[in-house]
A and B are shown apart, each in its own frame.
Chain A
Amino acid sequence: DQQVKQNSPSLSVQEGRISILNCDYTNSMFDYFLWYKKYPAEGPTFLISISSIKDKNEDGRFTVFLNKSAKHLSLHIVPSQPGDSAVYFCAASRNDYKLSFGAGTTVTVRA
């Protein structure tokens, strides 16, 4: 049973607009959350993370929001660029450095 769920398999957005990716989790013991980005034929690369003691973390165009009561986090990309077209994985951990991943969301940025 997947503990980290990304219910939107794909997202299409126009260049310059905001991309919002959503992620839900079921395990209340998770205390650290991450987003990874993956291009075809490459391994995932770390994008941004957030600790459970925070509700927002920002890094340039990328912002992650955490709502612990709803067990929900989201990734905002503003503005979206063609190079952002990739698969994005949400991941979570229980302070043991093992990550549980969601199924991924494929983002396509249209020119």
Chain B
Amino acid sequence: NAGVTQTPKFQVLKTGQSMTLQCAQDMNHNSMYWYRQDPGMGLRLIYYSASEGTTDKGEVPNGYNVSRLNKREFSLRLESAAPSQTSVYFCATSGLGYGYTFGSGTRLTVV
């Protein structure tokens, strides 16, 4: 089925460790996004990519980096994880309209 695939689904990191969250879409969409969801805060945009080869900061980019590897893949990297980055991370894509398609999320805990 067409959609957005995120890996891993769960991850526990120690403070200071690094990791990369992977996202791949098979919908041939140009735009891809990374959001984090925290209780009482809703979803906040970390980074987005309007097209292959371009990336821009969103609302909460500090502590993260991204790579738009090709049209299908958009990865999010935590270079030195902190407890404040404990969250659920969602990748999303959009085509010509506003209706985003989200992945099922990565639940990250930093201890």
**Given A44-B43, A44-B90, A104-B42: A99 and B98 interface contact (C-beta under 8 Å):** yes
Report chain A residues within 8 Å CB of B99. 34, 46, 49
Interface digits, A11-47 against B, CB 8 Å rule (1 contact, 0 not)?
0000000000000000000001010100001111110
**Bound complex: CA of A44 vs CA of B105, how far in Å?**
9
Query: In the complex the two chains form, is B98's CB within 8 Å of A89's CB?
Result: no
The answer on a CB contact under 8 Å between A42 and B43 is no
Is A4 touching B42 in the complex (CB atoms < 8 A)?
yes
Q: Given the complex, which residues of A lie within 8 Å of B40, measured CB to CB?
A: 9, 103
- B105 near A97: Cβ-Cβ < 8 Å: no
Interface residues of A (CB under 8 A from B): 2, 4, 6, 9, 32, 34, 36, 41-46, 49, 89, 93, 97-104
Query: Shortest CB–CB separation between residue B43 and chain A, in angstroms?
Result: 4
Residues from chain B with Cβ under 8 Å of A2 in the complex = 41-42
Inter-subunit contact B105/A49 (CB<8 Å): no
Please tell me if the beta carbons of A44 and B102 are within 8 angstroms of each other in the complex.
yes
Which residues from A are CB-within-8-Å of B50? Answer: 97
Which B residues lie within 8 Å of A36 (CB)? Answer: 100
**C-alpha spacing A41/B102, complex, angstroms:** 12
Given A43-B4, A43-B90, A43-B103, A97:B42 Cβ within 8 A: no
In the complex, the chain A residue whose C-beta lies closest to that of B58 is A98
8 Å CB contact of A34 from B4, B92, B98, B105: B98
5 A-B residue pairs with CB within 8 Å = A2-B41, A4-B42, A43-B105, A89-B42, A100-B45
Min C-beta distance of B39 to chain A, whole Å: 8
